[in-house]
Amino acid sequence: MTSKSLTVMASALLGASSAQSSVLVNWDFSGLDWRSGQGSGLTLNGPAPNPILTAANANAAAGLTVSDLTPSANLNVVINATTAAGEADIRDFDFGGNGSNENYIEFTMTGNAPGSLNIESISISQWRNGGGAVDGMAFEVSVGGGAFSLYDSVQVDSNSGSGPSFDTFTFTEAITGANTVAVRFAPRHVNQGSTGNLHVNGLQVNGSVVPEPSTSFLAGLAGFALLLRRRK
């Protein structure tokens, strides 16, 4: 076997050790039903349940730890005729209607190995229940405990009405080699209000988690390296 062949084989082994892009987190809202008394959202402007969903509902990929999905302090859950099972019916991203959207829902992803977490896209499925709901869909991220900043861009949802009409918005921006990534769904007032109801029934993150090399893999690389040296 030539040195070139050995080099190609070693490269193939390295490629096999890296994770392919896949679903990292897919939050399961199907068990939510605020009407049944779950959480504390039984009255208009009642405080939001904390957490909205526990980490067990994140369906986290292997090699990844995920925190609970939690609301900020003044984010509220609303019960009315349009609330259905399997969705988080939330309002007051702009608490008090002062034009500043202070509120969000948040979770944190942590790779089980340092520098192993890569993010490619974040998606949310939501329905604006009327023109008073926030219309600027947006995420913010904090990488490695740093300051939160806008992820990708703000996308405007012009759809609103009296019947359920869920739309999925996907945001794409590469984050590579992270230890932790905190994600906030932090919508903005663009053309419409921010105190009305926003129904969320899906939240997903795509990317990869690069696994730690196994002992046998490292031993194999060492063997290849030794053979390459002997042939020089």
Per residue in 60-102, pLDDT (tens digit) is 999 999 999 998 888 886 666 667 889 888 888 887 777 788 8
Determine the average pLDDT of the residues in 41-61: 74
Q: Report the C-alpha dihedral over residues 10, 11, 13, 18, rounded to 10 degrees.
A: 150
Q: What stretches of 58-163 adopt beta strand conformation (E)?
A: 64-66, 70-71, 76-77, 88-91, 105-111, 117-128, 136-143, 149-156
Q: Is 106 helix (H, G, I), strand (E, B) or coil?
A: strand
User: Can you tell me the distance from the alpha carbon of 102 to that of 95, in angstroms, rounded to the nearest whole number?
Assistant: 7
Q: What is the mean pLDDT of residues 21-49?
A: 70
Considering the chain, what is the average pLDDT of its residues? 81
Is residue 210 scored above 90 in pLDDT?
yes
Strongest mean pLDDT among 38-47, 90-99, 122-131: 122-131
Tokens 């939160």 -> residue? 148
Residue 28 has pLDDT above 80, yes or no: yes
pLDDT-derived band at 104 (thresholds 50, 70, 90) equals very high
To the question of pTM greater than 0.75 for the whole model, the response is: yes
DSSP letter for each residue of 22-84:
EEEEEE--TT--GGGT-TT--STTEEPPSSSB-GGGG-PPTTEEE--BEE-TT-EE--STT--
pLDDT for res 16: 42
| Residue 37 main-chain phi, psi, to 5 deg | 100, 5
Report the pLDDT value the prediction gives residue 52, as an integer from 0 to 100.
87
Q: How far apart are CA 139 and CA 155, in angstroms?
A: 10
pLDDT at 53 over 50: yes
Instruction: Band the pLDDT of 212: cuts 50, 70, 90.
Output: low
Residue 224: pLDDT band with limits 50, 70, 90: low
pLDDT per residue as tens digits for the range 139-166: 999 999 999 999 999 999 999 877 788 9
Q: Tell me, what's the pLDDT at 48?
A: 55
CATH architecture for the domain at 19-231: Sandwich (2.60)
